[in-house]
Amino acid sequence: MNDHRYQTGKNNLEKMNDNGFKRLKKSLDDIAPDLVRFVVEFPYGDIYSRSGLDLKSREIATVAALTALGNAQPQLQSHIEGALNVGCTREEIVEVIIQMAVYAGFPASINGITAAKKVFERLDDGK
């Protein structure tokens, strides 16, 4: 019934962070397959497919929010990778995270930069 939403989500994930999604699916598919499906359908099918804001701005918003919340390191790393995939430069990502020191404090910003460093190093190592 929701084939269209699922397919739209899959298409967006392929552009944004397909490896991240495959890791998520592999990790959660035996315990909560419907949560995996909801991730495809709602964020990627319903939200990231919306016009009105480009994907690059959407990933800037997500990296900002996850840095500020400070309790979702795996997802922050995934979205830093996603931000690169949709056209953000490393410098732009670092700027977003530094800026969060103002709104969520220096520890959140420092821990966000540490996440970015891990992602950049992983990519440089070709993993």
| Residues making contact with a copy of itself (CB under 8 A) | 1-2, 4-5, 24, 27-28, 31-32, 34-35, 38-39, 42-43, 46-47, 50, 52-53, 57-58, 60-72, 74-75, 91-92, 94-111, 113-114, 116-117, 120
Nearer to a copy of itself, 17 or 62 (CB): 62
CA distance linking residue 69 with residue 92, whole number of Å: 19
Nearer to a copy of itself, 19 or 42 (CB): 42
- Whole-number minimum distance, CB 79 to a copy of itself, in Å? 9
- Whole-number minimum distance, CB 84 to a copy of itself, in Å? 14
Nearer to a copy of itself, 18 or 92 (CB): 92
Phi-psi group of 89: left, alpha or beta (phi > 0 → left; psi -120 to 50 → alpha; rest → beta):
beta
